[in-house]
Amino acid sequence: MKEHFLWALSCSVDIPDVSVCALLDQLISLFCFYNGPVRQSYLRHNRSDLARHWARYLTHLQGGSSELHHIFSCLRTIDSTNIDPLLLLKAALILQACQRCPLVLAGCILYRGRVVSTQMPPDLTVKVMVHETESYQQQDPRPVANGMNGVSGTPSSSTGATPVFLTPAELQALRCHPVDKKCRSHCAPQPPPRPRKSRLLSRTLSDTPPDELDIVNLDPAPTPSSCRSSLSDESCYSACLSSEATTPQLSPVHQSEISCPADAKSYDHGLSNGISACKLKEEVVMGKVANGCNKKMDIRTSQSETEARDAFILPNGNGCHANGHHLDQPGATDCLSDQSSCDEQSDSSCRRSLSNGAETPRKAVLPENGEMKRTKTSIGTGHVGDSEMPTHTKNGCRNGTEGLEERETKENGTGRRQDEREESSSPSSSSEEEALVPMALYQHRVRALVLALLVEPHFHTDQAAVEEVYHSSMASLNGLEAHLRTSTPGGPGPHGPYTFAHYDCIQNTLTSNLSGAPQERSFVRATALLHSNFSQTQTLQEAIVRNAGAAVYATRSTAQETYFLQHATAVRNSGIPNHQDSAFSLPSKARHRLLKHGVNLL
């Protein structure tokens, strides 16, 4: 039972229970990654389509890789011993270059379904790879699976994007990523000049976290909610304010849609909005300080409400999918960033929701919310309202003067949310299920090489950002592809009179010289047993097991697990303890032999 659904997965008996559970979890999270919360996707899409998706994810999880990959459920990477390390470095640099764009969270480079370089945590890379593998198999430069849209008007046809959904934990992990912001701001290619005030607008929360969250990084367990709630409002907003005040030359790269006719209008909005937002924030902070309340944000609620809003918008989305505007209804964490994109919105759904917000602010406050702390969502709503609606601006002003904005914005928020709840046809579901944050997956393909980037949802509406990323990476990608094509013979590593598997627990990668021959079965079996033993006994460091035919040596540290089997030592012995037994010389042999595979056991 998970999220009100009953899940069942059947496997052959050989697979240990733990692995089955892990596989099921992986499958579910994969589905959620591409389709969003399960319940909502079933409301939105037709069952047979989703069944196809499930089947696809399942085949992806099962297929392709060797049994060893299943045992560790790890990534398949390029064999780094075979290619020039400089190429790996180059790949890493490309990714870093892309990250200069503040809308890009993290990325990875894949070649022929294998990872060359990744910035994402392993489980996320796996999810990204599903899509890549699929499109690679289709040999289609513009894969259209899963409601995916090629970005029209972009200079190349080999890019694309698809909406994806991240759990707050994943998002948090990405945002906590210690990206050097200074590097971002200084090294970024010069953006087109922008009016100063719109820059303020374009400062998003997603930009600021690298700074703010440095503090959080010290937190030993930065789970999304704890992280968020440990961040007091003050730090958030003051950082916002200070960055607005002190770093005016920050690159406002994601001000979007240069060619948009509503450009000028958006600037105007930006102006007034910037001020009011600013003021609002200040007042918020003051109000809070005055209250002396130590505010704990109920991020869960806010996220689920965001999701509810999402759910409401998506089904009625009026082409939301096509122009990606629904993605502008963001997760709680980037609400503040909404304005810039909302500014340009002439989308009716957005309007409607906003007008809902505007019309219902004085509806009864939910009683249980009476003492509830204001959440970012409600602030965000307030902003949007301010910027869009004259009445709202007035509202905000009045609030400001009366020092009651907190309550009012809350009213706005709750009222609006209430409305959405009412309108939403989906039954209330668990917060876990809805706590997914919509993002987008950007892909740039050069033959078999793919650059996949996780980007903010409104990335591809932001022409400048798209172009920046595209141009900054295209040349290097082409070069990298050419190098990889020539330097990857594709065969497994050098064979010796031994079999080994080296699992990197941190990067979740596996190096091995397995060829898939049937006599390797015993090695795989022993590895499976030893691996489950390792996972059961935390203190276990190394082990040797032997039967009549083979002896396998296994060793592990916190970062890696290594398994080693020496061939052609079928010297018949009795199984009685004997220190001359060849099985016990395995550790030294393994140390010796694996050095040339780049595995250091010393």
Where do contacts with other proteins occur on this chain (CB under 8 A)?
1, 13, 17, 525-526, 529, 533, 537, 539-549, 551, 572-579, 581, 583-584, 587
Query: Smallest distance, Å, CB 85 to other proteins?
Result: 33
Cα separation, 195 vs 263, whole angstroms? 12
Which tokens sit at 110?
């894949």
3-class DSSP string for 162-221: EEEEECHHHHHHHHCCCCCHHHHHHHCCCCCCCCHHHHHHHCCCCCCHHHHHHHHHCCCC
165 vs 534 by CB, closer to other proteins? 534
Query: Smallest distance, Å, CB 560 to other proteins?
Result: 16
Query: Smallest distance, Å, CB 162 to other proteins?
Result: 34
10 vs 294 by CB, closer to other proteins? 10
Cα separation, 192 vs 197, whole angstroms? 14
Query: Smallest distance, Å, CB 525 to other proteins?
Result: 7
Which tokens sit at 123?
């489980």
231 vs 526 by CB, closer to other proteins? 526
- Phi (first) and psi of residue 161, to 5 degrees: -145, 155
246 vs 539 by CB, closer to other proteins? 539
Indicate the DSSP class of residue 307: H
161 vs 501 by CB, closer to other proteins? 501
221 vs 548 by CB, closer to other proteins? 548
CA distances from 382 to 300, 354, 379, 413, 578 (A): 19, 10, 5, 7, 77
Query: Smallest distance, Å, CB 559 to other proteins?
Result: 17
Query: Smallest distance, Å, CB 430 to other proteins?
Result: 15
271 vs 540 by CB, closer to other proteins? 540
- Phi (first) and psi of residue 172, to 5 degrees: -60, -45
Nearest to 330 by CA among 468, 466, 459, 237: 459
Cα separation, 407 vs 410, whole angstroms? 5
83 vs 545 by CB, closer to other proteins? 545
CA torsion 365-366-371-373 (nearest 10°) is: -90
Q: Can you spell out the DSSP letters for 427-465?
A: PP--HHHH--EEEEEEEEEETTEEEEEEE-TTGGG-HHH
15 vs 448 by CB, closer to other proteins? 15
Query: Smallest distance, Å, CB 16 to other proteins?
Result: 9
Query: Smallest distance, Å, CB 546 to other proteins?
Result: 4
Beta bridge partners of 360: none
Query: Smallest distance, Å, CB 572 to other proteins?
Result: 5
7 vs 192 by CB, closer to other proteins? 7
Query: Smallest distance, Å, CB 550 to other proteins?
Result: 9
Cα separation, 225 vs 465, whole angstroms? 30
Q: Fill in the amino acid letter for 129.
A: M
Cα separation, 126 vs 500, whole angstroms? 23
295 vs 525 by CB, closer to other proteins? 525
Residues 98-125 as b or e (16 or more Cβ within 10 Å = b): bbbbbbbbbbbbbbbbbbbbbbbbbbbb
Query: Smallest distance, Å, CB 26 to other proteins?
Result: 19
Q: Fill in the amino acid letter for 465.
A: A
